[in-house]
């Protein structure tokens, strides 16, 4: 294999100190362990790598290489020779100074802890999480018991969680509809219950007024005895995992975790959104985690995440997710899906005037065969995918904290 390397005198390159640049055009064969500023090789193979003295940047390039642009710690790219080969990878320039924090914190994400949380909330000791079912011999509803456990997790991680209150009722059930969609308006005599969002946050050191929200509904289906493992013990457990790994992180913006209720009516995320508005604050971005460990039977074993968006602002967040999935080699099959109208708890933000809101979910249109039925059990949750979605969401949080909106 022939190749030619042209090293530029790095002193001649006028680079801003924090900018690291890597772009590889077309498939290339390049020598291993090469720190380079520019190279060319086979016809159609041309690339440039420029580096700063950041010791965290290691341009160790393996032979072989269509994958090298994934191996490279690419921070940013720019046009250097127009028309040379096909661009494999481009990025806008962002501040990636959070990358060390990301590597350290993502290393703390524990698939086992996530799995244990899902089993706790949807199998043993809590078979589900609703206001209209109490375990025999217990005094509190299964959802109230879940609330206590979630608060305990947050308090144990050093947070000072608080609650708001919404009067809700369990959904009625319409047996004439398909099994997955039998929720119906509550009967006239359905009792009202106080339901609570559990909210915890890390206060921003520079900007407390623009909040990064991670939201997940913690309740299970109130009209059917489903464990609600993938809907949504898994999103709850993922949000708890993020709170755990971020507990010592010092953010610039306030990062708020909201554990809400969406399987009783009305949805308590509306109360949480109203609360943010009455505080006079803005939502920099809201990331809803719901059903991230489920997908169709044909997609089993695939590491799929869909970022569902409704607004142009949400699409920018979805595109940012795709970039971060590549940038940090998270390994998800990441894609985006546009919805015509706001839905779910991210929709509560959009309807409430905060358009930077998206949903991470395992399939869209939703294809989990266990959706909203009794077989939505903890053993069916895809924990490999879930772990990666937690890491992707962590990257998104850190990126937004450093860079603001994309
Ligand atoms: Zn759900």
- All structural domains of the chain, each given as residue ranges with its CATH number in brackets, are 1-93 (no CATH), 99-403 (3.40.630.10)
Residue 365 is predicted with a pLDDT of 83
Ligand 1 centre and the CA of 217: distance in Å? 7
CA of 237 to the centre of ligand 1 (A): 13
Peptide bond into 125 cis (omega under 30): yes
* pTM, two decimal places: 0.80
pLDDT at 400 over 50: yes
CA of 347 to the centre of ligand 1 (A): 13
CA of 279 to the centre of ligand 1 (A): 27
Distance 261 CA to ligand 1 centre (A): 9
Give dist(CA 400, CA 275) in Å, integer. 22
Where b means 16+ CB within 10 Å and e means fewer, 284-304 reads bbbbbbbbbbbbeeebeeebb
Which of 12-21, 268-277, 326-335, 366-375 comes out lowest in average pLDDT?
12-21
Average of pLDDT values for 282-310?
95
Ligand 1 centre distance from Cα of residue 39 (Å): 50
Q: If you average pLDDT over residues 53-78, what whole number do you get? A: 32
Calculate how far, in angstroms, residue 234's C-alpha sits from the geometric centre of ligand 1: 10
At 29, give phi and psi (nearest 5°). -105, 120
Q: What is the rounded CA–CA span in Å between residue 172 and residue 180?
A: 14
282 CA to centre of ligand 1 in angstroms: 25
Please tell me the distance between residue 372's alpha carbon and the centre of ligand 1 in angstroms. Answer: 9
Distance from Cα 132 to the centre of ligand 1, integer Å: 18
Q: How far is the CA of 291 from the centre of ligand 1 (A)?
A: 6
Task: Give the distance (Å) from ligand 1 centre to CA of residue 262.
Answer: 7
> Ligand 1 centre from 129 Cα, in Å?
12
Rounded to the nearest whole angstrom, what is the distance from the C-alpha of residue 102 to the centroid of ligand 1?
28
The more confidently predicted of residues 355 and 178 is 355
Tell me how far CA of residue 238 lies from CA of 117, 387, 406, in angstroms: 9, 8, 24
Distance 232 CA to ligand 1 centre (A): 5
Angle CA(91)–CA(94)–CA(99) in degrees, nearest 5? 105
Question: Is the pLDDT assigned to residue 71 strictly greater than 60?
Answer: no
Arithmetic mean of pLDDT over the chain: 82
Residue 79 has pLDDT above 70, yes or no: no
Annotate 102-140 with b (16+ C-beta within 10 A) or e (fewer): beebbeebeeebbbebbbbbbbeebbbbbbbeeeeeeee
Higher pLDDT, 61 or 265: 265
Top mean-pLDDT range of 27-41, 89-103, 287-301: 287-301
User: What spacing in Å lies between the alpha carbon of 389 and ligand 1's midpoint?
Assistant: 16
Q: How many CB atoms lie within 10 A of CB 53?
A: 7
Gap from CA of 290 to ligand 1 centroid (Å): 5
Q: Which of 58-67, 115-124, 191-200 has the lowest mean pLDDT?
A: 58-67
DSSP 143: H
* Sheet with 162-163, side-by-side order of all strands: 162-163, 198-202, 253-260, 207-217, 282-289, 357-361, 304-309, 333-338
What is the distance in A from the centroid of ligand 1 to the CA of 396? 21
pLDDT of residue 73: 34
| Averaged pLDDT, 319-330 | 89
Q: Which range is least confidently modeled, 3-12, 178-187, 248-257?
A: 3-12
pLDDT of residue 77: 29
* pLDDT bracket for residue 367 (50, 70, 90): confident
Mean pLDDT of 393-402: 97
219: pLDDT strictly greater than 90:
yes
Distance 130 CA to ligand 1 centre (A): 13
Question: Residue 199 C-alpha to ligand 1 middle, in angstroms?
Answer: 18
* Whole-number CA gyration radius for the chain: 23
Report whether pLDDT(115) > 50. Answer: yes
Distance 356 CA to ligand 1 centre (A): 20
User: In terms of C-beta density within 10 A (0-12 exposed, 13-18 middle, 19 or more buried), how is residue 217 classed?
Assistant: buried
2-6, 151-155, 299-303: the lowest-pLDDT one: 2-6
pLDDT of 41 over the 50 cut = no
Largest CA distance in the chain: 80
Summarize pLDDT for 240-274 with one digit per residue, the tens.
999 999 999 999 999 999 999 999 999 999 999 99
The yes-or-no verdict on residue 345 having pLDDT over 70 is yes
More confident residue, 362 or 38: 362
* Burial of residue 249, with CB atoms counted within 10 A of its CB: 0-12 exposed, 13-18 middle, 19 or more buried: middle
Cα-to-centroid distance, 73 and ligand 1 (Å): 36
% residues pLDDT > 90 (the chain): 71
CA 107 to the chain's CA centroid: 16
Q: What confidence tier does 93 reach under pLDDT thresholds 50, 70, 90?
A: low
Cα 342 to middle of ligand 1, angstroms: 14
């Amino acid at each position: 294999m022939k190749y030619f390397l042209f090293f530029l005198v790095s002193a001649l390159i006028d680079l801003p100190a924090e900018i690291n640049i890597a772009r590889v055009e077309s498939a290339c064969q390049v020598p291993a362990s090469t720190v380079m500023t520019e190279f060319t090789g086979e016809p159609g193979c041309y690339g440039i790598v420029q580096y700063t003295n950041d010791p965290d940047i290691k341009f160790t390039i393996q032979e072989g290489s269509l994958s090298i642009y994934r191996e490279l710690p690419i921070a940013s790219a720019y046009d250097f020779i127009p028309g040379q080969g096909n661009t494999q990878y481009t990025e806008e320039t962002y501040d990636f100074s959070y990358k060390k924090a990301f590597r350290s914190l993502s290393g703390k994400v524990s698939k086992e802890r996530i799995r244990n949380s899902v089993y706790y909330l949807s199998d043993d000791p809590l078979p589900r999480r609703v206001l209209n079912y109490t375990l025999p011999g217990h005094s509190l509803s299964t959802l109230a018991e879940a609330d206590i456990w979630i608060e305990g997790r947050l308090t144990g991680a050093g947070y000072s969680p608080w609650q708001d209150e919404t009067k809700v009722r369990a959904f009625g059930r319409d047996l004439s509809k398909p099994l997955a969609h039998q929720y119906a308006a509550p009967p006239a005599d359905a009792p009202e219950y106080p339901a609570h969002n559990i909210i915890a946050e890390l206060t921003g050191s520079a900007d407390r007024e623009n909040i990064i929200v991670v939201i997940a509904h913690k309740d299970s289906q109130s009209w059917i005895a489903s464990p609600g493992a993938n809907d949504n013990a898994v999103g709850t457990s993922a949000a708890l995992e993020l709170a755990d790994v971020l507990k010592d992180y010092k953010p610039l913006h306030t990062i708020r975790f909201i554990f809400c209720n969406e399987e009783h009516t009305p949805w308590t995320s509306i109360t949480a959104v109203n609360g943010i508005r009455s505080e006079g604050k803005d939502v920099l971005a809201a990331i809803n985690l719901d059903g991230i460990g489920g997908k169709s039977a044909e997609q089993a074993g695939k590491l799929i995440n869909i970022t569902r968006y409704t607004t142009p602002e949400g699409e920018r967040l979805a595109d940012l997710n795709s970039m971060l999935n590549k940038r940090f080699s998270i390994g998800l099959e990441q894609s985006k899906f546009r919805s015509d109208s706001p839905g779910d708890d991210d929709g509560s933000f959009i309807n409430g005037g905060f358009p930077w809101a998206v949903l991470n979910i395992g399939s869209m249109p939703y294809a989990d065969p266990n959706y909203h039925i009794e077989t939505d059990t903890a053993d069916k949750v895809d924990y490999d995918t879930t772990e990666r979605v937690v890491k992707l969401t962590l990257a998104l949080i850190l990126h937004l904290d450093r860079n603001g909106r994309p």
